[in-house]
Amino acid sequence: MGTRIVEGILYLMGRLPLGYHRWWGRRLAWLFRSGLRYRQDVVMTNLARSFPAKRYDELKDINKRFYTHFGTVLTEMIWFGACRGPKGRKRLHDSHIVEITNPEEMKRIYDASSQIMILQAHSGNWELFGGINEYTYGAPMFLDPAFLAVTYHRMSSPLWETIMSHNRPAPVMDQGFHGYVASDNIIRFVLENKEKKFLYNFIADQYPYNGNDCEIDFMHQKTKTATAAARLAVKLDMAVVYLSYQCREEGGYRITFIPITEHAKGMDALDITKRYYQLLEVDLEEQPWNYLWTHKRWK
């Protein structure tokens, strides 16, 4: 009952215009940054270590812009959760909240591959991936929601676990989508569907949880990372694509798909993982606020 009540409130809030949510996002940014000082120490430590050449006043500016971005992500997520069914998908499409710069490249790779693995980070608004088919604007839609899978890390709260399982894939829930897969079940899911042409979306920049990790250089620091996603791609000869998620100055986001390999078989999983982090580092140097600096990526 509690879950239904919270979902109902969030859905009603989500029906409000996108501009309203962004306005509240800026108010939330002030609350998190200056009122609650939510993880301020973590954010400043991460920024200082990741950008050692920047002066303190530059880091403070990045910090401020990050919290504005963070608040916007949270409120856009509520708006996105109400984009359900045909009317919701049209609302999502008409908003132009995300634009794909090269859908034809992604379609080419999809047509030429048996399966695809997309690696993305906590940049842009990572919660909006479930609306991927609505962001092509005139180019052919290349994904069947029945063969789309997104991975996630289980939440400790059963209430929020349920709410997010309905919110993240909201636009495709009525289109045969059944690929919302917890990270601890993904290997089984992939092997059970290895004969089907799935597109897998992995958020690959989290601190490794399963103990099967290695160390790479990322943002001027030794960084532990897991190679499980890349090893799956090698095993099943998937194409591997990096999803570059940039913020637009006028608001909203721009996605570019960058191929890492079109045939992973025979490659070293660590080399694929390193290339992913190299591409992510380029994006962060260009837009340093555009990342989830509150998470404890370096422990």
What distance in Å separates the CA atoms of residue 6 and residue 232, rounded to the nearest whole number?
37
- Residue 285 pLDDT exceeds 80: yes
Q: What pLDDT is stored for residue 206 in this prediction?
A: 86
What distance in Å separates the CA atoms of residue 140 and residue 178, rounded to the nearest whole number?
22
pLDDT in tens, 183-207: 989 999 999 999 999 999 999 998 8
Spatial neighbors of 281 by CB under 8 A, at least 6 apart, are 218, 219
**Mean pLDDT computed over 126-134:** 95
Closest listed residue to residue 284, CA positions, set 50, 99, 54, 120: 50
Q: What pLDDT is stored for residue 267 in this prediction?
A: 97
What distance in Å separates the CA atoms of residue 154 and residue 148, rounded to the nearest whole number?
19
**Mean pLDDT computed over 11-40:** 96
Neighbours of 240 (CB within 10 A): 29
Q: Residue 96 CA to chain centroid, in angstroms?
A: 17
- Residue 163 pLDDT exceeds 80: yes
Q: What pLDDT is stored for residue 186 in this prediction?
A: 93
How do 221-226 and 98-100 pair as beta strands? unpaired
E strand or H helix at 149: strand 148-152
- Residue 151 pLDDT exceeds 60: yes
User: In a 3-state reduction of DSSP, which class is residue 31?
Assistant: helix
- Residue 171 pLDDT exceeds 90: yes
**pLDDT tier at 128 (50, 70, 90 boundaries)?**
very high
- Residue 96 pLDDT exceeds 60: yes
Please, what sign has the CA dihedral across residues 143, 149, 151, 155? Answer: positive
Q: With 0.75 as the threshold, say if the pTM is over it.
A: yes
Alpha helices in 82-219 (DSSP H): 85-95, 103-112, 158-167, 186-192
pLDDT in tens, 208-225: 876 557 899 999 999 999
**Mean pLDDT computed over 165-182:** 95
**pLDDT tier at 2 (50, 70, 90 boundaries)?**
confident
User: In a 3-state reduction of DSSP, which class is residue 101?
Assistant: coil
